[in-house]
Amino acid sequence: MDELGAQMMSENENKEGLENTSVNGQAQEAEVQGAASDLSDDDGVTLEVVEEVAKGKPKRGVYLLPNLFTTAALFSGFYAIVAAMNGLFEQAAVAIFISMIFDGLDGRVARMTNTQSEFGAEYDSLADCISFGAAPALVSYSWSLQYLGKVGWMIGFIYMACAALRLARFNVQADTADSRYFTGLPSPAAGAVVAGMVWAANDLGISGEDVSVIAAIITAFAAVMMVVNIKFNSFKEFDLKGRVPFVVILVVVLIFAVIATYPSGVLLAVFMLYALSGPLLAFKRR
């Protein structure tokens, strides 16, 4: 009996030892898991970045093709400033119109090639601020506004500031605005009004000093039209991929022929009518 009791006590002690060992093992495992969890919490960003890099998710660099057109537009705007500083006002005005062409192509090329990016959108806005904000203001000032003294450079600054405000508002409202209309005159169209004025007057042999007041009025008008809450047709509803009657092609050929005969005057008239269309349509709606 004594031997049997001793054997049972020995078995109970072994069971208790095993249970203690299991509890200790579970506690150690819990501590290891807690430490791993703490490490994961502390270094979570690093681990996630490494995982994303391993999977190849991050995309470094920018798309080349659309940004080439944006850079060309920016170069044309900068050249317009340099040409105006050297008294080459006709070349400066033509450079602004060339910048308009490149500015219209970069977005279309990005959509056609599916290479849109946030970087491209921001780069395009900054380029537009130079090409259609600073460049037209400085061209108008160098050609005519400088003869008005302080009033002249103030009007030039107001134009440039309105162009920057117009672009900032466009970026903020890009996701919610109606694509059929622009709120305010687009900055390229405003720049075309100022550049067309300088180009047409230069072709007619009119000195900027002689029409400084008229130049100030037109520049100020283009500036105000950029920031007013008036709708301008964006013409984005036109389907350029669809079929059109044959007569439309003849009309397009006629338009090119008319522009070629007197490009400065025709372009000034076209963009001035577009700048006036917003207020006229708003008045008609009311």
- Cα torsion at 279, 177, 76, 189 (round to 10°)? -10
The answer to the question of residue 93 being in a domain is yes
Give how many domains the chain has, as a whole number. Answer: 1
Residue 128 scores a pLDDT above 90: yes
Phi, psi of 117 (to 5 degrees): -155, 160
Between residues 17 and 175, the one the model is more confident about: 175
The answer to the question of residue 3 being in a domain is no
Reference 77, options 6, 7, 19, 125; nearest CA is: 125
Coil, strand, or helix at residue 182? Answer: strand
Contact 143, 209 (CB under 8 A): no
- Rounded alpha-carbon distances, angstroms, from residue 110 to 59, 68, 77: 17, 11, 21
Between residues 51 and 164, the one the model is more confident about: 164
Coil, strand, or helix at residue 181? Answer: strand
What pLDDT sits at residue 85? 95
The answer to the question of residue 57 being in a domain is no
| SS3 sequence of 199-245 | HHHHHCCCCCCCCHHHHHHHHHHHHHHHHCCCEEECCCCCCCCCCCC
Containing structural domain, residue 89 = 64-285
How far from chain centre, in Å, is Cα 15? 75
Greatest Cα pair distance, the chain, in angstroms, is: 133
Give 36-41 contacts, CB < 8 A, sequence gap 24+. none
Q: With bands split at pLDDT 50, 70 and 90, how would you rate the model's confidence at 35?
A: very low
Instruction: Tell me the average pLDDT of the chain.
Output: 82
CA–CA separation, 148 and 4 (whole Å) = 121
How far from chain centre, in Å, is Cα 187? 12
Spatial CB neighbours of 97, under 8 Å, sequence gap ≥ 6: 192, 195, 267
The answer to the question of residue 39 being in a domain is no
- Rounded alpha-carbon distances, angstroms, from residue 67 to 50, 102, 107, 119, 163: 30, 10, 9, 9, 21
Q: Residue 131 maps to which CATH number?
A: 1.20.120.1760
Q: With bands split at pLDDT 50, 70 and 90, how would you rate the model's confidence at 45?
A: very low
The answer to the question of residue 210 being in a domain is yes
The answer to the question of residue 47 being in a domain is no
The burial class, CB within 10 Å (0-12 / 13-18 / 19+), for 59 is exposed
The answer to the question of residue 2 being in a domain is no
Write out pLDDT tens, residues 57-93. 556 677 888 899 999 999 999 999 999 999 999 999 9
CA–CA separation, 271 and 262 (whole Å) = 14
Write out pLDDT tens, residues 96-116. 999 999 998 988 888 888 888
The answer to the question of residue 49 being in a domain is no
What pTM did the predictor assign?
0.76
Between residues 19 and 192, the one the model is more confident about: 192
